[in-house]
Structure 1
Amino acid sequence: MKAMLLRVGIDTGSGGTLGPIFKDGSFEYIPIPEGYLSEEDKTYGNTIGRKGFPLSTYVSKILKDVGMHFDPEFKTYTYGDPTSKRSSLLRLQKNDLLVFYAGLKPYNQKKEEAALYIIGYFTVKEVIDFNLLSTEEREKYCKRCKNNAHIKRMEILGEEHLDDLVIIMGQKNGSKLLDKAIKISEKGSDSIGRNLHVVSKKMRPIFGFEGSIQRSRPREVKEEYVDKLKNLLFVE
């Protein structure tokens, strides 16, 4: 069994801000803006978060009526990657873990600083490489994954938008958007002095690696560390 960590959610490069985390550790998962034509009808303004306020409460006013790229989605547990030719997610197999983390900043807490937090996870049910599917198989999986943001793009952009797409499907009883985020980073720097989010000292013995996790590329957790990660997440 293996696990991968993957950064998701709105950030300063895609959306101009970070999602909020509150004093009790709860948070709002805020997706990035949708950059393509899509059938997605959820906007930051019309989507109510878990705290009872529109997600537009936490982002720039100019995003209020902008559609969101809900990926991952935690209704039917799918995540899409449109780069299968180089996607490390193809190494995942059934029952592996795909763990999602996001940049979050304390809401109305001036003294606290932004950091990276685990916000949820999938226990893998299936890994779907659309490049390997027939037209009939693609149609079947499009129906099964209709809540995924990339499938909602395809409905407008056409079937060619499925080329190079990988979708990870999570098991219903083994996948979750957490109630409270788990902090995994601390401040660090690279060889030329740039400030970075790096794996915290507390998390290094759990992940089995250290260094920057600021970028969104998946980071693999070696098999011998997966049980520690499962214990952190309370995965059965």
Structure 2
Amino acid sequence: MKALLLRVGIDKGCGGALSPIFEDGSFEYIPIPESDSETHETRTYQNTLGIKNKPLADFLPFKICQSKIHFDPEFETFTYGDPSKSKRKSLLKLDKNDLLVFYVGLSPYQNNKYPNALYIIGYFVIKKVIDFSELSKEEISKFCNLYSNNSHIKCDNLKGLVIVEGDKYRSTLLDKAILISKPKQNKIGRPYHAVSPEMEKLLGIKGSIQRSIPPRMIRDSECMENLKKLLKM
């Protein structure tokens, strides 16, 4: 068993904001804005309510409030897709019952006790990994129907696409976020988010996790047990 950690969700570089974390440790998972104008998606930040029963737009810059949302990963039918060379290679290494763990940048809402940092917000227990480049036309049609809730399918963006399907009974969006980073500075004083010392010890990974490239793979059995305890699996 192994686990792949990926950063997802809106951030300062894509969307111009971070999702909020609240006083009780709960959070809004806010995906990135959809960049494909041909998408069949109808949900926008303005017409989509979050866990606080408020439009997601309430937590975002005005300029993107009417933007359509690129829900990926999505936690309704539990799919995640990516066509990029940098990620598809890692996704294709996942096997049934492995973990795909998602982390995001969160910012404290109304100056609460939580730091502006990176947090684990959910995971998939892998059911299937589908490489669309290996499918026949008939199989593509079948999986497009099966994964119609995925943003890449809604955009008809299938070239190089890999879709990971999570087991719906064992995959989840967490109720409370799990802090995994600590701010540091590089040699020229530029800040970045690195794995916290506690998580280095528990998960066996270190260094910058500011971006999801390269994706971090956890293979060590002891580290995997620590991760499962962290996720309360």
The interval holding the TM-score normalised by the smaller chain is over 0.9
TM-fit CA distance, 1:193: 3.0
Which of the numbers 198, 201, 204 marks the counterpart of 2:200? 204
Please name the residue that 1:106 is paired with. 108
TM-fit CA distance, 1:84: 5.0
Q: How far apart, CA to CA, are the structure 2 residues paired with 1:77 and 1:131?
A: 21
Q: How far apart, CA to CA, are the structure 2 residues paired with 1:100 and 1:112?
A: 19
Whether 2:168 is the aligned partner of 1:166: answer: no
> For the aligned residues, what is the CA RMSD?
1.4
* 1:48-63 pair list within 5 angstroms: 48-63=49-64
- Between 1:200-209 and 1:1-10, the stretch displaced more is 200-209
Question: Secondary structure of the equivalent of 1:124?
Answer: strand
Please name the residue that 2:189 is paired with. 193
Consecutive unaligned residues of structure 2, counting only runs of 5 or more, are none
Whether 2:7 is the aligned partner of 1:11: answer: no
Distance 1:184 1:195, change over 3 A: same
TM-fit CA distance, 1:207: 1.4
Please name the residue that 2:76 is paired with. 75
TM-fit CA distance, 1:132: 0.3
Equivalent residues of 2:22, 2:112 under 8 A apart: no
Please name the residue that 2:97 is paired with. 95
Equivalent residues of 2:21, 2:114 under 8 A apart: no
1:7 maps to a residue whose letter is: R
1:215 maps to a residue whose letter is: R
Equivalent residues of 1:84, 1:129 under 8 A apart: no
Distance 1:100 1:24, change over 3 A: same
Q: How far apart, CA to CA, are the structure 2 residues paired with 1:13 and 1:123?
A: 29
TM-fit CA distance, 1:83: 2.0
TM-fit CA distance, 1:221: 1.0
Please name the residue that 2:219 is paired with. 222
Task: Kindly tell me the number of residue pairs found equivalent between the two proteins.
Answer: 229
Q: How far apart, CA to CA, are the structure 2 residues paired with 1:87 and 1:122?
A: 18
Which of the numbers 130, 140, 143 marks the counterpart of 2:142? 140
- Between 1:78-87 and 1:140-149, the stretch displaced more is 78-87
Consecutive unaligned residues of structure 1, counting only runs of 5 or more, are 155-160
1:200 maps to a residue whose letter is: S
Q: How far apart, CA to CA, are the structure 1 residues paired with 2:60 and 2:114?
A: 18
Distance 1:203 1:125, change over 3 A: same
After superposition, what is the alpha-carbon deviation per residue over 1:47-72, rounded to whole angstroms, capped at 9, x for unaligned? Answer: 00011100000001111211000000
Which of the numbers 127, 130, 133 marks the counterpart of 1:131? 133
2:22 maps to a residue whose letter is: F
Equivalent residues of 1:6, 1:98 under 8 A apart: yes
Q: How far apart, CA to CA, are the structure 2 residues paired with 1:162 and 1:84?
A: 13
Q: How far apart, CA to CA, are the structure 2 residues paired with 1:209 and 1:22?
A: 27
Equivalent residues of 1:84, 1:166 under 8 A apart: no
Q: How far apart, CA to CA, are the structure 2 residues paired with 1:213 and 1:120?
A: 16
Q: How far apart, CA to CA, are the structure 2 residues paired with 1:21 and 1:123?
A: 24
Equivalent residues of 1:81, 1:87 under 8 A apart: no
